[in-house]
């Protein structure tokens, strides 16, 4: 089993993380990011907010990619 497993079901995407492979701060950062994305989606902002979100997401991914894809 790897440090990260993804199971795609009809309704859910289940992500399993090996706690020994990720520190608590990394996991909390990821969860906060996902919560923020979900709130933005529910708020139904206009396109300018969507573009800002894409910029933030790209910057976040660039910053954390090497940590997450070890």
Residue 1 has pLDDT above 80, yes or no: no
| pLDDT-above-90 percentage for the chain | 50
Does residue 59 fall inside a structural domain?
Answer: yes
pLDDT at residue 5 greater than cutoff 80: yes
More confidently predicted of 14 and 36: 14
Q: Tell me if 17 is assigned to some domain.
A: no
> 59 lies in which domain range?
22-68
Is residue 4 assigned to a domain? no
Question: What is the three-class DSSP state of 1?
Answer: coil
Number of domains in the chain: 1
- pLDDT at 42 exceeding the cut of 90: no
In a domain, 55, yes or no: yes
| pTM, to two decimals | 0.55
């Amino acid at each position: 089993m790897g440090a990260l497993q993804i199971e795609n079901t009809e309704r859910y995407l289940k992500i399993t993380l090996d706690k020994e492979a990720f520190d608590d701060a990394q996991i909390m950062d990821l969860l906060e990011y996902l919560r923020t994305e979900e709130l933005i989606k529910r708020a139904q902002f206009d396109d300018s907010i969507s573009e800002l979100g894409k910029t933030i997401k790209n910057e976040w991914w660039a910053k954390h990619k090497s940590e997450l894809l070890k």
